[in-house]
Structure 1
Amino acid sequence: MGCASSAPQQAEDYASGDPASPQPDSPTKSPPKPSAQEDNGPPGRTTSMENNRRRSVAHQSPEIDAGPVDTTFDEAKVGSLSRHGIAPTRGASGVTSKAKINQDRGVVCWPFNGSYNEALLCIFDGHGMQGERVSEWCMQQIPGRLEAERALLKDDPAACLQKVVPEMDKTLLNHPKLASVARGAGTTSNILYCNGNKLWAACCGDSRAVMGRVTSSGLQAVNLSNDHKPDLPVERARIEAAGGVVSAAGPRGLPPSRVWVNGRVGLAMSRSLGDGEAKTHGVTADPEVQMFDLNPIKDGEKMGDKFVIVASDGIWEFISSQQACDIVNKHSNAHSASAELVKTAEQRWREEEGSYRDDITCIVAFLPFLEDRDVGGDDDVVVQGGADYGQIEIDLGEQQQADGSSPAGARIKNPGWGASNQEPGNDDDDEGEQFVKRRLSVAAQPPPDGWDKDMDA
């Protein structure tokens, strides 16, 4: 099943790692035009003309200010929005902020696997140099690969997720065009597979999923996934057994705990897809899978499971699970709930970090939203939520890097892999160095062996 603006592919393409073009070579390029096999439907939608045994719809999280986008589901039930990050830069007028490439990818696949009674809610939060290519590839490839395991997905969803996610990681690390990128860049992955009143959460990294449950004592946040930090006892034991070094988190979690490989790769999570160099030292793509029975609030009742949220750490950095549930609970419309959640996170970043903001993406689904019926027709439909915005074609400063000039970072010094293509700042900027240690997901320069010169091969 395809996502974004690519044409849907057959299941065997996913298994063989067929080369994709998940991200433009430059953020200033326009998205690719539809191929001859695609029919130009409504804005934001691409319909495959191929006969495809999978019948699903995918909707990518649009930029929050992209304007109206075409969706095939009721936004009162499901809402999904994204907000690109910003990074500080010093110009003639002083310190300003410029847009970073948005490395987050969110996607709602519903109906999924040929049924309105099944859905995928996925967040992929890329990190490192060109990490957006890794998260985009995962968004495009993983849903279709899960559908290719249709029998296993039906019989044992947990086993299917535990099988497919590591397999896709291996495919990524051996991809003819992405392997060199994925050696030093990666992505989180949080996949919620919903089937009727059961939900499976498969998590790698620190993108979190939460459920809002109404109890006799009020609204309660129930975490559906755990943040995979390197200093958690189970994670630390695995990493140290493989020869990795784990540094502890500082006060209030800053700087974060990190995995160090050969003294230079400081990855702020213990599970991810990609990050090939760290994979030799205990970082794993094996997802932690948990199953939950959903009990949606029935007509005439007041208690039960009300909604689920899955979001990148741009939400969770300054908003707790309970606070997020309290924000969403004020709304009866999932789209407006996701908008307030993103805007609140944006405001918290402004208050705490000023001219820096991480990418922010969330999906909100009010329960119940599934329907017990199959999909009619034979084609996948791919809905792109704001393609130009999802790939940050709005660009407020990346062209300066593309043409060789360097936007000096007021608070970023020597950012390396974790800077989303930001250039090094001033060498005498100690605050920038501390910023790198405090915030970036990967805090190190790539090794001087030339591997990064082959990123676009």
Structure 2
Amino acid sequence: MNFVFLVTHFPTLENPSSNLEKLTMIGIQQDRILRKKKVSPPIKEHILNDLSKFSQKPPKPDVANNGNCQPYGCPLYPPELTPQLNESLIRSFQHNQLEHFLEPFFTETFAMLTQQGKSHKENQDRGLFISPFVIHDNEVPTNDSLPSFLAAIFDGHNSLGHLVAQEVVEQLPNTLAENLRKSLHGAWWKDDYNSDALVAAAFNDTFLQVNKNGTPFNFLRGGTTASVALRYGSKLYMANAGDSQIVLVSVTKPNGTVNLEFMTRKDKPFEVDEMERIKKMGGKIHINPLHPKDARVVVHSTASRDTIALAMSRSLGDWEWKHVGVTAEPIVHSIDLNEPRYKNTQSLFLIVASDGMWNIRRDKFYANQFATAFDDNLIEHSAANSASGVHPPSDPKLRPAFKLHDVFQRITPRTKKGYCDDITSIII
């Protein structure tokens, strides 16, 4: 049996609407300081550095897993597909061996990659992968022999979305680990204990805490989606807020049929439950009659001094929308991978990706493409050359990297005029 949770509201952790005006004024005062002509460049630079303390990107790919380990594990961040990295990957495929600095990010069981689109000056996506994901202390023992991982995508939006996504990718893993310890105590992952509701509550608390503790200047002017997958043993938990998505794919016996087993929902204002909550809290939704699914939540922004709209109904950040029903609460789903429908498959894998990928091709396309990376019986389907003209490598360890790189090449517009959002994907 699958467990699906629509997490309830915890008012003590949300940004109280009474504080919104105060937070907005903080941002406006900071703007006024920066705009005064009497502020000298050194002072202005100092203020900017203080306000943007989370603006630094994760470590470069070749050092991302060195000296970066935390009590919960060693996070890896997706390498960016620059022309230089593209050349390194192609050389690796041609020589049937990954170049040394790429080895942490591409293995036989997972691959991760990000690419800046043409819609922003910089990549607003962030992601991470941690395996194993350690969630215990001396008082709360766990079975460390069980497989575990944490995979997450954060897709920033609006002017400072990249700063919000950066802050969330840094803060969420530790906050989640702490909340899981507090929620589960000595009942941690016992076979006879239904921990699903407690894990869902820990996810809910984590999203709300990270949102509440955000830097006001950034969280007023930007937001981010959050798609987070946690596996521990046979349990898979998926928490989502926004329009990034997590997809579970299986390849079934005996014919090697590729199936979309589960997909998190894109949280959009046109959804009935989302629209009801937003309108109940006094929010206004603009619906285009020609494209009703492109509905947007409209607010008058004090920080921007303009009327602005948001294309999603759940997110972290976007503080000026919180008092009108755009919540940071995630929808949490639980799946037991020991169920017969999953145990009897040839292979089972997960795709965690930003909407820059999902908006270009259908979900089934990605499921079919990535299935050839993890299922030996489908390898013959990938015998043709890739979009970049490279023949698939024979080493199984390179297959996930090859297919992920190939998919990025296939969905990226070939002309400079073609629109392309930031794309980030992790396959496990």
Secondary structure at the aligned position of 1:271 is classed as coil
Cα 1:195/1:302, change in 2 over 3 Å: closer
Q: 1:328 aligns with which of 370, 380, 400?
A: 370
What residue is the counterpart of 1:261 in the other structure?
299
1:74 Cα deviation (Å)? Answer: 6.0
What residue is the counterpart of 2:76 in the other structure?
59
What residue is the counterpart of 1:159 in the other structure?
201
User: In structure 2, what is the Cα distance between the partners aligned to 1:252 and 1:220?
Assistant: 29
Matched, 1:170 2:212: yes
Q: 1:80 aligns with which of 101, 112, 115?
A: 112
What residue is the counterpart of 1:364 in the other structure?
427
- Residue identity over aligned pairs, in percent, reads 28
* Unmatched 5+ stretches in structure 2: 1-49, 89-98, 136-143, 189-194, 301-305, 375-398
User: In structure 2, what is the Cα distance between the partners aligned to 1:342 and 1:85?
Assistant: 11
Cα 1:102/1:58, change in 2 over 3 Å: same
Secondary structure at the aligned position of 1:264 is classed as strand
The residue type paired with residue 119 of structure 1 is: F
What residue is the counterpart of 2:162 in the other structure?
132
Is the CA contact 1:106–1:139 (under 8 Å) kept in the aligned structure 2? yes
Alignment of 1:184-263 (within 5 A): 184-215=221-252, 218-249=257-288, 251=290, 256-262=294-300
Q: CA RMSD in A?
A: 3.2
Q: Which has the higher contact order (CA 8 A, sep 6+)?
A: 1
Is the CA contact 1:128–1:186 (under 8 Å) kept in the aligned structure 2? yes
User: In structure 2, what is the Cα distance between the partners aligned to 1:20 and 1:291?
Assistant: 36
Answer with 281-290 or 214-223: which moved more: 214-223
Secondary structure at the aligned position of 1:165 is classed as helix
1:320 Cα deviation (Å)? Answer: 1.7
User: In structure 2, what is the Cα distance between the partners aligned to 1:284 and 1:343?
Assistant: 35
Alignment of 1:39-438 (within 5 A): 43-47=63-67, 54-65=71-82, 66=85, 67=88, 68=99, 69-72=101-104, 75-87=107-119, 100-113=121-134, 115=144, 117-151=147-181, 152=183, 154=188, 155=195, 156-172=198-214, 178-215=215-252, 218-249=257-288, 251=290, 256-262=294-300, 264-294=307-337, 303=345, 306-332=348-374, 333-347=399-413, 354-365=417-428
1:149 Cα deviation (Å)? Answer: 2.4
The residue type paired with residue 66 of structure 2 is: T
The residue type paired with residue 285 of structure 1 is: A
Cα 1:157/1:81, change in 2 over 3 Å: same
Deviations 1:287-323 (A, max 9, x none): 000001225999xx97355211010000011222211
Cα 1:148/1:70, change in 2 over 3 Å: farther
User: In structure 2, what is the Cα distance between the partners aligned to 1:32 and 1:323?
Assistant: 30
Cα 1:55/1:245, change in 2 over 3 Å: closer
User: In structure 2, what is the Cα distance between the partners aligned to 1:297 and 1:245?
Assistant: 45
The residue type paired with residue 113 of structure 2 is: L
The answer to which structure has the higher helix fraction is 2
Q: Which has the larger radius of gyration?
A: 2
The residue type paired with residue 287 of structure 1 is: P
Instruction: Kindly tell me the number of residue pairs found equivalent between the two proteins.
Output: 312
What residue is the counterpart of 2:389 in the other structure?
none
TM-score, length-scaled by structure 2: 0.66
Is the CA contact 1:231–1:249 (under 8 Å) kept in the aligned structure 2? no
The residue type paired with residue 334 of structure 1 is: P
Is the CA contact 1:297–1:306 (under 8 Å) kept in the aligned structure 2? no
The residue type paired with residue 80 of structure 1 is: M
1:246 Cα deviation (Å)? Answer: 1.5
User: In structure 1, what is the Cα distance between the partners aligned to 2:248 and 2:288?
Assistant: 27
Is the CA contact 2:176–2:203 (under 8 Å) kept in the aligned structure 1? yes
User: In structure 1, what is the Cα distance between the partners aligned to 2:273 and 2:326?
Assistant: 12
User: In structure 1, what is the Cα distance between the partners aligned to 2:225 and 2:218?
Assistant: 15
User: In structure 2, what is the Cα distance between the partners aligned to 1:59 and 1:106?
Assistant: 8
User: In structure 1, what is the Cα distance between the partners aligned to 2:258 and 2:292?
Assistant: 26
Answer with 57-66 or 233-242: which moved more: 57-66
1:343 Cα deviation (Å)? Answer: 2.3
Is the CA contact 1:229–1:257 (under 8 Å) kept in the aligned structure 2? yes
Deviations 1:229-268 (A, max 9, x none): 10100000001111111122565677x2111113822100
Deviations 1:333-382 (A, max 9, x none): 222232223223324xx58x9343100000000xxxxxxxxxxxxxxxxx
Secondary structure at the aligned position of 2:268 is classed as coil
